[in-house]
Amino acid sequence: MSSLHPSINYMKAAPFEVPATSSAAANNDRNVPSVEQLVLDLCNPDLRENALLELSKKRELFQDLAPLLWNSFGTLAALLQEIVSIYPVLSPPNLTPGQSNRVCNALALLQCVASHPDTRMVFLKAHIPLYLYPFLNTTSKTRPFEYLRLTSLGVIGALVKVDNTDVISFLLYTEIIPLCLRTMEMGSELSKTVEFLEAFGNTICRHLLFYMLSWLVATFIVQKILLDDVGLEYICATAERFFAVAGILSNMIIALAEQPSARLLKHIIRCFLRLSENLRACEALKNCMPEMLKDGTFSSCLLEDVTTRRWLQQLLHNVLGHRVAIQAGGGFDIVNHG
Ligand code: TRP
């Protein structure tokens, strides 16, 4: 299963410089506070901003940060307070870069709790992910909001990374899918704009990279839901759900034909393949699967990727039958679930 690491690691440091507070400056050389001290500092409103910044930078160096955050007195409450304190600026959208940075540092710590095997399930049982849904529900296309959505998706992405039906059931029950679909939709709209194409031609600016990563993480979450039996059943339970998901995946395929991304294509093909394993969905795909998956549009994009090529072949085999699959796939790889 492909891993989320590159995108999540990207978020290690805040992208907007937050002016150093006097305590941050004082800590620089002489008395660098310990991780334990920084966790305690989270409960002190005057020291919290700096503690958030320092801890989110150190979170990968200190293995047991998650249990420390979870079990220490008042820490989770402080992190949740950071989160709810910006609800008022979500609508109408008024989030500043500084506020976005600060709350994203708090989210980075929650991601650490969501990733750790000892805290993942308690994190879920306490329904903490629900606090992030208002962030995923925003549509503002400014950078602070983009960063906020990407970081929030990163927390959910960390939760689904390890296969667990309880995690999937929680996400389904709390209706995460429409939120992911919205991010996926925004990505495919954006990819049609001139600004996006030009930025791709040169170096990708950070803003657009956030879009690409949000797109990728949202698709990864939907893929993980589909790979779960309960998730596949849920999505295929009604025609509306199925067509909402298949429609957005198809739009993404069209957007990708303009701007290929092998990584995203792999996730989308895996999603379609999984849908084709449900009988009713497979029937529906006979009519609504994008032509571009059948006509070899992506063969050059898949040259290096045997696994995805096999997934595509298996998909065509499931949907169109054996002969057509071999013609459309243009190859004779042994059809196999890689
Ligand atoms: N309440 C909606 C439903 O259960 C949630 C929803 C909207 C949804 N769009 C979706 C669920 C797409 C799955 C797929 O249908």
At 258-306, the pLDDT tens digits run 877 888 999 999 999 999 999 999 999 999 999 999 999 999 989 999 9
The per-residue pLDDT for 143 is: 87
Q: CA 186, 191, 192: angle at the middle one, nearest 5?
A: 105
Q: Going by C-beta distance under 8 Å and a sequence separation of 6 or more, which residues neighbour residue 202?
A: none
**Displacement of CA 289 from its chain's centroid (Å):** 24
In order of 3, 24, 98, 199, the CA distances from 28 in angstroms are 34, 6, 21, 37
The per-residue pLDDT for 255 is: 87
Nearest atom of ligand 1 to the alpha carbon of 238: 15
Which residues lie with the beta carbon below 6 Å from any ligand 1 atom?
A: 175, 177-178, 235, 240-241, 244-245
CA-nearest residue for atom 12, ligand 1, is 241
> Ligand 1 test: best mutation among 175, 236, 274, most atoms within 8 Å of CB?
175
Q: Say what percent of the chain tops pLDDT 70.
A: 81
Give the Cα separation of 91 and 140 in Å (integer): 9
The per-residue pLDDT for 14 is: 42
- Residues in the chain predicted with pLDDT less than 50, given as ranges, are 1-29, 330-338
For residues 159 and 112, the answer to whether their CB atoms sit within 8 Å is no
CB neighbour class for 212 (10 Å; exposed up to 12, middle 13-18, buried from 19) = buried
The per-residue pLDDT for 290 is: 96
Phi and psi at residue 298, in whole multiples of 5°?
Answer: -100, 10
Q: Give distance in angstroms: CA of 237 to centre of ligand 1.
A: 10
For residues 155 and 108, the answer to whether their CB atoms sit within 8 Å is no
CA-nearest residue for atom 3, ligand 1, is 241
Please state the pTM of the whole predicted model. 0.85
The per-residue pLDDT for 170 is: 98
User: What is the CB-side half-sphere exposure of residue 21 using CA atoms within 13 A?
Assistant: 14
The per-residue pLDDT for 217 is: 95
The per-residue pLDDT for 184 is: 92
The per-residue pLDDT for 197 is: 52
User: What b/e sequence results for 85-123 when a residue is b if at least 16 CB atoms lie within 10 Å of its CB, and e otherwise?
Assistant: ebeebbeeeebebebbbbbbbbbbbbbbbbbbeebbeeb
Q: Which two tokens stand for residue 206?
A: 């950070």
The per-residue pLDDT for 52 is: 98
CA-nearest residue for atom 14, ligand 1, is 241
Nearest to 275 by CA among 327, 218, 314: 314
- The 3-state DSSP class for residue 112 equals helix
For residues 102 and 49, the answer to whether their CB atoms sit within 8 Å is yes
